[in-house]
Amino acid sequence: MNECEHETANQSQERVEGMYEYGYRKAGYGPDELVTDAHGNPIAVTDAMLRAEDAAKQTTSTPHLCYYSPRIPGNTGSAIRLCAVTGTILHLVEPLGFNLKDTKLRRAGLDYHDMAHVVLHPDFDDLVRTMPDSRIIAFTAHATKLYTEVDYRPSDILLFGPEPGDIPDPMDIMAGPHVAEQVRLPMRPSLRSLNLTNCASIAVYEAWRQLNFAGGR
């Protein structure tokens, strides 16, 4: 690497680091964080990510998956892998509780980052605005309806809230007027919850099963 290339790389790294504060992306920054392709080469997230407006136009075989303000990078990395193998579009709604180049996220996602369509939304209103024809189905322990009691459509959005932690569950998001259905996964009453991406996997595969595993083999 020559001196000019080294200086450009340093400037890029400084710009990326300036996007974050306390692990959260600062407002006003675009999705230009770095991930790697299947060969481990650095690529810009803008190369791997899908614009929200384009996601709404995609013909899909499974519903979309949405994580609202995810906090654990490994869960989102696993979701990227899940979405790559099922052809699902993953929507992430900020604020995120981690840096997108977190090693745990990249390790969990393996080399699937450039094979999955990921959309980053600055807030939940942006998701609703850019996906006007999608039915939002919220997965929450407060629901009475089981997730198997819904007839899923490829245009649906399967919405999951943040992992349990210090931040209260965003009930204005999970039970707002934009939500068409609230559903839950059955569990033994003495236990609190499943891992976030375990829940998402169950939901995505049930929806894909109902749609005859279109596009799979």
Binding-site residue ranges for S-adenosyl-L-methionine? 161, 185, 193
Give the C-alpha separation, 13 to 120, whole Å: 20
**52-56 long-range contacts, Cβ below 8 Å, gap at least 24?**
52/91, 52/119, 52/121, 52/126, 52/127, 52/130, 52/131, 53/130, 55/89, 55/91, 55/117, 55/119, 55/130, 55/131, 56/130, 56/131, 56/132, 56/133, 56/134
Number of residues that this document lists for the chain: 217
Hey, CA dihedral for 108, 110, 116, 117, is it positive or negative? positive
- Known binding residues: 161, 185, 193
Question: Token pair for residue 91?
Answer: 């929507």
CB of 116 within 8 A of CB of 45? no
